[in-house]
Amino acid sequence: MATIAIVGAGLGGVLAAYEIKAEARASDRVVLISKGDTYHFVPSNPWVGVGWRDREAIEVNLPPVMTRKGIDFVSVGAKRVHPAENQLELNDGSSLAYDYLVIATGPDLAFDEIEGLGPEHFTQSICHVDHAERAATAFDAFCEAPGPIIVGAVQGASCYGPAYEFAMILDTELRRRKLRDQVPMTFVTAEPYVGHLGLDGVGDTKGLLESEMRERHVKWITNARVAKVEQDKMIVEELNEEGAIKQTHELPFKYSMMLPAFRGVPAIIGLEGLVNPRGFVLVDKHQRNPTYPNVFGIGVAVAIPPTGKTPVPVGVPKTGFMIEIDGHRDSEEHRRAAAQQVARGTGNVERRLPRRFRR
C-alpha cells in the first residue's frame, strides 16, 4: 500500500488525481490537498473581470466529486513540505506522511515586489476569481467616470495571454457600453515585442497582435519595467536592448489590470534541491525532481528556463493545455507532439489527445 499525495487542486492537481487514481492499486491511497473546497477554472477569470461570467459558473465543489472518485480530500491546505522526511505539514497543525508527492500548487502572486501593485493597492488582477470579482466591481465604477486604462504584465511575469485577452475584452465591453472613445488604452509589458508571449513568438504572433492592437487603438510600451504604482499614476521605465533606461513614462490611469510576477508558494520556497531560487520545482523530463525522486511537479509550479535573454526579465508561460499534458501519464510523449505541432504551425494538437482532455 502506498500513499500518493497531490498538493494543489487546480487544473493540474485535479487531473493528476484522476489519472493517478485510475492507475493506482486498490490498496493505494490517493489524497488531494487543497486550500478550500472549491475548484476555480482560472482561464475564465478574464470574463468574470467584466461580468461576462459569474464565479458560480466557473466553480466546482470538490468534496462530493472526490468522494465519487474514491480520492481522499483535505481542504486545509499545506503549510510546508518536508521532502527529506516524506511529510506534509498541514495548515491545521496536522501532518501527512506520503510515499509519493505531486506538487501542483500553482504560483504565489508576487504583488509585493512592486510598490503599489495589486488589488490591495492600485491595480486589479485576474489571476484568482476573488481578484476577478473585485476587478469587475472596479470596472463598473470606472465606467461611471471613464478615463485612461493601462493593461499588461510586469517584469518577471510568465503569463501574457490573459493580459492581451483582457485588453481585447475591455475594448469590446467599452464599445458595448458606448464609452470606448472616452478611454485611451495603453498595453505595458516586459516582453521585448508585442506577441513575444514568453516564447519568442509563436508563428506570426508579433504581426497578428500588433495589427489587432492598432485596429483597436491600443498603444503599447514593450521592454517595460514598472518602477512603482501610485494612485492614478504608473511609473514605467522603458529599457533599451542593453538593459539601460531608454525613457521613463509617467502614465495616468483610472483603471489598470497588471499581471504580477510569479514565484513558488510558501510551502516549498527555499527548499534546496527541490526548487530553484524563485521557488519553482526542479523536474526532469518525467516531471520528477532529481534530488527527491518520489516528488513530482506539474503546471505553473514547475521551473522552466526562459527561451532567451531579454532586457527585462520575461518568464515562460504554463498554459492550461500544457498543464493538462503535465497531468497526463504520457505527458512527455504528448508534450513532444504538441511542441512539434506548434513549431510547424499545423494541425489541432488537442485532437491528438484522448477525448476526455479536449476542451
> In this predicted structure, what is the pLDDT of residue 346?
34
Q: Give start and end residues of each alpha helix (H) in 145-290.
A: 161-176, 205-215
Q: Alpha helices of 240-355 — where are they, by DSSP H?
A: 320-326, 331-344
Please state, in angstroms and rounded to a whole number, the distance separating the CA atoms of residues 83 and 29: 19
CB atoms closer than 10 angstroms to residue 154:
27
What DSSP state is assigned to residue 264?
-
**How far is it, in rounded angstroms, from Cα 31 to Cα 21?**
9
**pLDDT for res 22:** 94
CATH of 111-260, one of 3.50.50.60, 3.60.15.10, 3.90.1750.10, 3.70.10.10: 3.50.50.60
Residue 29 near residue 1 (C-beta atoms within 8 A)? yes
Quote the CA–CA distance of 217 and 129 in Å, as a whole number: 28
Assigned C-alpha cell, 266: 510558501
From the candidate CATH numbers 3.40.50.620, 3.40.309.10, 3.30.2420.10, 3.50.50.100, the one assigned to the domain spanning 3-107+264-357: 3.50.50.100
Per-residue pLDDT tens, the chain, 359 aa: give them.
Answer: 899 999 999 999 999 999 999 999 999 999 999 999 999 999 999 999 999 999 999 999 999 999 999 999 999 999 999 999 999 999 999 999 999 999 999 999 999 999 999 999 999 999 999 999 999 999 999 999 999 999 999 999 998 999 999 999 999 999 999 999 999 999 999 999 999 999 999 899 999 999 999 999 999 999 999 999 999 999 999 999 999 999 999 999 999 999 999 999 999 999 999 999 999 999 999 999 999 999 999 999 999 988 889 999 999 887 554 555 555 555 555 444 433 433 333 333 333 333 433 33
Number of Cβ within 10 Å of residue 267's Cβ equals: 24
SS3 324: helix
Longest dimension (CA), the chain: 65
Whether 327 and 320 have beta carbons less than 8 Å apart is answered as no
- With beta carbons less than 8 A apart as the criterion, state whether 160 and 198 touch: yes
Tally the residues of the chain. Answer: 359
Which among 166, 149, 57, 154 has a CA at the least distance from the CA of 111?
Answer: 154
Q: State how far the Cα of 352 lies from the Cα of 78, in Å rounded to an integer.
A: 35
Domain 3-107+264-357 and domain 111-260 have a common topology: yes
User: CA quadruple 280, 282, 286, 290: dihedral positive or negative?
Assistant: negative
Q: Any idea where the domains of the chain sit in the sequence?
A: 3-107+264-357, 111-260
Q: What is the pLDDT of residue 307?
A: 83
User: Which pLDDT does position 308 carry in this prediction?
Assistant: 86
pTM exceeding the 0.85 threshold for the entire prediction: yes
- CA nearest to 261, candidates 150, 130, 134, 107: 107
Q: Parallel, antiparallel, or unpaired: how do β-strands 78-82 and 87-90 relate?
A: antiparallel
CA distance 116 to 112: 8
CA angle 113, 284, 41 (to 5 degrees): 55
